[in-house]
Structure 1
C-alpha cells in the first residue's frame, strides 16, 4: 500500500456526532443527509465528506464508539433541529493511504497503524484519524468506494 506524508489543510466542517454501536451509524447518517438536503449542501467541490474516528471498533465497547460525520463547508451553519454543529479540523501533518472497497472493512487504516507506523520512525499525533469519503451516494457500489485515510502525526 502506498503511503504519502501530506499536510491536511485547515478545514471548517459541519458535523453530526455518533456515539454508540457501529450498526446504528446509518440512523445518524440519515439525519445528517436530511439536514444536508434542507441546506442543499451536496456540491462535491465544497462539501467533501469526512468521518473523524475517535475510537477503534475492534477495541472499544459498542456503546462507546464515537465518530463525527462531517462535510466541509464554506460558511458557518446555524442552530438546527438535527444537532449538526460547526467544528474545525486543524492543519495536520499526516500519513495518507487510500482504500478502495467497502467502508466497513477499511484496510488503509489497519495498514497505517499496524504495519506502516511501527517501522516509519513517526509518532501518532493528537488528532483522530480522518477518513475522506471521496465518492458517496446510493449509486456507488461497495467495491468502487474510495476512502482516503489520514493518520495525524507529530
Structure 2
C-alpha cells in the first residue's frame, strides 16, 4: 500500500448527511444524485465528489453510523427539500491512499491505515473525518475499475 502525505486546501461542499444503517446509504446517495442533477450547483463533469465518514460502518449500534455524501461547489447552496446543506472539508495534512476496486472494500484500506500504518508511523490522526474522493463511479466504469482516493487527516 502506497501512502503519500499531502496538504489539502479547504474544500467547499454541498452535503447530504446520512445517519442510520450503512445498508441504507445507497438511498441517501440516490437522493443526493437527484439533488445534484436538479439543482445544477455541483455538476459531476467539473466538480469533485466526496464522502465524509464520521463513524465506522462496522461499529455498533449501526443506527448511529454517520456519513456525508458531498459534491464540491463554488458558491453557497440555498435551502432545498432534499436536505442538502453547506459544509467544508477542512484544510490540513492527510495521508492519502489510492484504492482501485469496489467501494465495498474501502473499509479494508481504512482499517489498514488506522491499525497498521498509523501506529508504526510517527503521525497522529487529526480530529476530522476520514474522507473519500470518488474519481470515477459505476456506471461510467465497471465496479472493479472504480478509483477512490482515501484521505486520513493528520496533525
Band the TM-score falls in, shorter-chain normalisation: over 0.9
Structure 1 residue 9 displacement after superposition: 1.5
Alignment partners' CA distance in 2, 1:39 and 1:134:
21
Q: CA deviation at 1:44?
A: 3.5
- Aligned residues of 2:137 and 2:143 also touching (Cα < 8 A): no
Deviation at 1:3, TM superposition (A): 0.4
Task: String of CA shifts for 1:121-143, please: whole Å, max 9, x gaps.
Answer: 11110101011111124232110
- Name the SS for the 2:127 alignment partner: coil
Question: Is 1:103 equivalent to 2:76 in the alignment?
Answer: no
Structure 1 equivalent of residue 91 of structure 2 = 91
SS at match of 1:118: helix
Q: Please give the alpha-carbon distance, in whole angstroms, between the structure 2 residues aligned to 1:26 and 1:59.
A: 18
The CA deviation string for residues 30-71 of structure 1, in whole angstroms up to 9 with x for no partner, is 1111111112332433x2110000111122321111000001
Which is worse superposed, 56-65 or 16-25?
56-65
C-alpha contact 2:13 2:73 (8 A) present in aligned 1 = yes
User: Once superposed, which parts of structure 1, at least 4 consecutive aligned residues long, lie more than 3 Å away?
Assistant: none
CA positional deviation for 1:109? 1.4
How far off is 1:92 after superposition?
1.4
Deviations 1:73-93 (A, max 9, x none): 111100000000000111111
- Supply the distance in 2 between the matched residues of 1:139 and 1:88 (Cα, whole angstroms): 27
| Mapping 1:1-154, distance limit 5 Å | 1-40=1-40, 41-45=42-46, 47-106=47-106, 107-154=108-155
RMSD: 1.2
